[in-house]
Structures are given as C-alpha cells and as structure tokens.
Chains A and B, each alone.
Chain A
Amino acid sequence: EVQLVESGGGLVQPGRSLRLSCTASGFTFGDFALAWVRQAPGKGPEWVALKRNRAYAETTEYAASVRGRFTITRDSSKTIAYLQMSNLESEDTALYYCARAIPAIVGYHFDYWGQGTPVTVTS
C-alpha cells in the first residue's frame, strides 16, 4: 500500500524557515517523482514544487511564488522527500501535501497524496 506521511509543519514567524518531511512507503521510491502541493484554508490546491525521479536526473520544478525561497530534495536511502522553506511569508500559510507524481509528456498529475502538514506563518 502506497503511503505518504508528512511532518514538520507548525507555527512560524514571517522571514523564518521551516523544513517539511514526507516519508514514503509501499512503492519503489526512486522510480517516482514527488511533489509538494499546498492548500490555503477555503481555497483550491496549488502546486508548489516537484522533483523528478532518478531516470530524469532528479531535476526540479518550482512555482513562481516560491522559486528562490523553497527547495525540494529527496533522500532515497531513507525514502524521504523534503521541502526546505525559507523567508516565509503570510501567503505561505496552508496545509502542505506530499504527492506521488506521474509523468505525462511535459507535466505530472498526482496519484497518491499524504494527509498533509499545516504551516501557519504569523507574527
């Protein structure tokens, strides 16, 4: 059974940093891309970042709103993906989901999701 379990969320002040973790199990970690998708309260999902699998050199993509502030990484030995978030803004407040990503010609859709970890940015 595919499982994705996020952790690391919490309350943080603007300008500070936070690292989220996504522990994966039930599938061959290195064969799949992984993504972070966030959802602000009462809003639709917003894709944040994606890291391709080893077949695609583990390259990354970022939404414009987080590029330069967020970094997605993965540790295949631990089957964990991370989202390092820095210089956080109030607009980053959301529930952050980890999702397994399935490739198309260019982009990806998401076939399995974790339950999310909340991030609240407030002074």
Chain B
Amino acid sequence: EIVMTQSPATLSVSPGEGVTLSCWASQSISANLAWYQQEPGQAPRLLIYDASTRATGIPARFSGSGSGTDFTLTISSLQSEDFAVYYCQHYHSWPLTFGGGTKVEIK
C-alpha cells in the first residue's frame, strides 16, 4: 500500500497571502495524484488531477506540481472560501489512498 503523507497538519495564513501545501508518496506514483478541498460539513471537491491539471471550474489561483514522490498544491492568494482542509490522493495502484490532510486556517 502506498502511504500518502501531508505536511503540515495545519497552516495559519492571512487572506490574500499565498500558501504551498506538500504531499509525499511512500513510493513513486508518477503524476497519478489528485488534490481535493473539503469545507466544513461538505463533501470533498476535486481541485487538481494528474498532479497539475485543474478540474472544471477551479480558479487559476490553484496550481499543482510534482511527480514521482513529491507534490505541492499552491494557492496564490487566499480568498475567504479557500480556508478549508486539503487532501491529496494517489491513483497509481490499488488500494487508492488519501493523505491525512492539511487544514488551512485564518491567521
């Protein structure tokens, strides 16, 4: 099983600032990585797939990069609706696994 690790667990950021979230895979997953955003009480929402492709309707301030084992999600200028929990998920092999999440909170 591929273990996905996210760091840090919590990020405190001011609105308008940029932020970079990290996700590591325990073995190479090529670019088979997705990022999701989950607001309180809501289902996860797909942001990025194939490590760097924005999903339909996702604003350009969200960008993903990386391949192999190291991945990042960057939000260029945080808006109020971006304060949420972010999860990465690999789909390189079975089982599909998610990271533990990074909570982006208002500073």
Q: Which residues of A come within 8 Å of B, CB atoms?
A: 43-47, 50, 61, 63-64, 97, 102, 104-116
Contacts and interface: CB of A to CB of B under 8 A. Distances in A.
14 contacts: A43-B100, A44-B87, A45-B89, A47-B96, A50-B96, A106-B32, A106-B93, A107-B90, A107-B91, A108-B91, A109-B46, A109-B89, A110-B44, A115-B43
Give chain B's interface secondary structure class.
loop
Given A97-B43, A107-B32, A113-B45, A47 B92 contact: no
B24 interface: no
Contacts of A115: 42-43
A34 B43 CA distance: 16
Most chain B CB within a 10 A radius of its CB, from A44, A45, A46, A114: A44
Interface residues of B, number: 26
Contacts of B90: 107
B12 to A, nearest CB: 19
Contacts of B42: 115
B62 interface: no
Nearest to B95: A63
B92 A109 contact: no
A108 B43 CA distance: 18
Contacts of B97: 46-47
Contacts of A114: 43
Nearest to B56: A111
B55 A104 contact: no
Interface string B17-48: 00000000000000010101000001111100
B32 A104 contact: yes
A36 to B, nearest CB: 11
